[in-house]
Amino acid sequence: MIQEIFLIFLVILSILVVVSKDLLRSLVFLSVSTILLVLLLFLLQAPDVAITMAVIGTGATTILYLTVIKKVRRLK
């Protein structure tokens, strides 16, 4: 039951990532959807994949995107 709820929220957040016009808002939606995916992986008893996804997917990717958005806005 909880897995289906996470999957529904994951689909909704993924649609919001694509539809959102603001890059920072889209990045927040992407980070939240990655956290939901990590929780789903923990529920599916794959903690090693979940920890890797948390570190790389949520941490490193968010920092990389924030840096790129900051540099692109300076160029304008």
Q: Which residue has the tokens 């529920």?
A: 43
Domain limits for position 34? 2-75
State yes or no: pLDDT of 76 exceeds 70.
Answer: no
The tokens describing 74, both together, are: 């300076």
Q: What is the pTM of this model?
A: 0.85
Report pLDDT digits (tens) over 12-42: 999 999 999 988 999 999 999 999 999 999 9
Rounded to whole angstroms, the Cα distance separating 13 from 71 reads 26
Q: Which contacts qualify for 60-65: CB closer than 8 Å, 24 or more apart?
A: 61/30, 61/34, 62/27, 62/30, 62/31, 65/27, 65/30
Mean pLDDT of the chain: 91
**Dihedral over Cα of 10, 11, 12, 14: its sign:** positive
Q: Is residue 75 pLDDT above 70, yes or no? A: no
Domains in the chain: how many in total? 1
**pLDDT tops 80 at residue 74:** no
